[in-house]
Amino acid sequence: MVALLVATPSLLLPATDSDTAQLVIVLAILASFMTFIEYYGRYPSIVEFRFAPPFNRLKFVALGLSVLLLSLILRGQSHPTEFTMLLTLLGDGLGRAIDFPYSPVRLVVLMMPADASPELIASVRTAAGVCYAISLTMMLIFVTCVRFHGWPLRHGAFNVWVNLPLFDPTAGGDVLYRLRRDAGLNIVLGSLLPFLIPAAVKAASDLIDPISIAHPQTLIWTMTAWAFLPASMLMRGIAMSRIAEMIEEKRRRAYARAETEALQQA
């Protein structure tokens, strides 16, 4: 599935040269092999929350849906069908609905140079609107899982060592403080990045040419990363905050139990 995700734009877009196709095949094989190794092993590696579904499943579905919809919309520009025309209308409506002053989509549109064609600006607005709407939906579903479905305890005991391999509980300091600090940092960065990335690209327009986004595959992966990475950081912050709440609750129960036993002995 990961290999198919990486190869989707090259499979759906009509104008894909041979060099790009060969590179995509190599990247798809590497991505699928790394994912297989990560989930086949039982020991911590790099991927977080491997055994705490649906954290990574939600991210994969959102990422795959973003890439698939953008690929179909861009394919419809040269090979239109009723389905691609419907997706284009829906995407254009989403883009225009979210394109209000000071919104992330408006900043992405303003990032484009003044000489950009109206067709390119419309494509960028549509892609940004689709990806941003999918990322918001992904976060809302995850928050629902956390608040109303008892994530991650609904699927059994939560192993911090396996699900948070990059977090070292023995590095020093209180674990709760470090978890809450990392959670707050991820939430702040995830909230600001959709606004900061277009501003940074606009400021660095002398070094980064925004017009290069006109290439369909560049547009797909750029807009997907712009919406997905901040949403992923927000989800990570929410998840780490939830883990901190679980540890604090377990500590309170342990302290209450110890206090009760001390009173009974007295």
Query: CA–CA separation, 201 vs 35, rounded Å?
Result: 31
Look at the alpha carbons of 151, 143, 231, 29 in this order and tell me if their dihedral is positive or negative.
Answer: positive
Looking at per-residue pLDDT, the higher value among 94 and 259 belongs to: 94
Query: CA–CA separation, 95 vs 250, rounded Å?
Result: 45
The predicted structure's pLDDT at residue 153? 82
Six-digit token pair at 264?
Answer: 């009974």
Six-digit token pair at 107?
Answer: 């900043």
Six-digit token pair at 39?
Answer: 């989930």
The predicted structure's pLDDT at residue 74? 93
Which of the four pLDDT bands, split at 50, 70 and 90, describes residue 131?
Answer: very high
Query: CA–CA separation, 194 vs 78, rounded Å?
Result: 30
Query: CA–CA separation, 158 vs 112, rounded Å?
Result: 45
Residues above pLDDT 90, as percent of the chain = 50
Closest CA to 214 of 142, 137, 110, 113: 113
Total number of residues shown for the chain: 266
Mean pLDDT confidence for 190-201: 89
The predicted structure's pLDDT at residue 75? 93
Q: Give the pLDDT confidence of 70-92 residue by residue, as tens digits.
A: 999 999 988 899 999 999 999 99
Average pLDDT across the chain, whole number: 88
The predicted structure's pLDDT at residue 211? 60
pLDDT at 3 over 90: yes
pLDDT at 179 over 80: yes
Looking at per-residue pLDDT, the higher value among 264 and 21 belongs to: 21
Mean pLDDT confidence for 93-115: 89
Looking at per-residue pLDDT, the higher value among 206 and 265 belongs to: 265
Closest CA to 162 of 20, 265, 49: 49
Closest CA to 220 of 5, 21, 60, 55: 5
Residue 14's SS3 state is: coil
Which of the four pLDDT bands, split at 50, 70 and 90, describes residue 61?
Answer: very high
Which of the four pLDDT bands, split at 50, 70 and 90, describes residue 266?
Answer: low
Mean pLDDT confidence for 130-143: 95
Q: Give the pLDDT confidence of 196-241 residue by residue, as tens digits.
A: 988 888 777 666 666 677 788 889 999 999 999 999 999 999 999 9
Residue 154, CA distances (Å) to 8, 41, 53, 236 in order: 34, 22, 10, 18
Residue 146, CA distances (Å) to 57, 172, 188, 229 in order: 14, 28, 19, 20
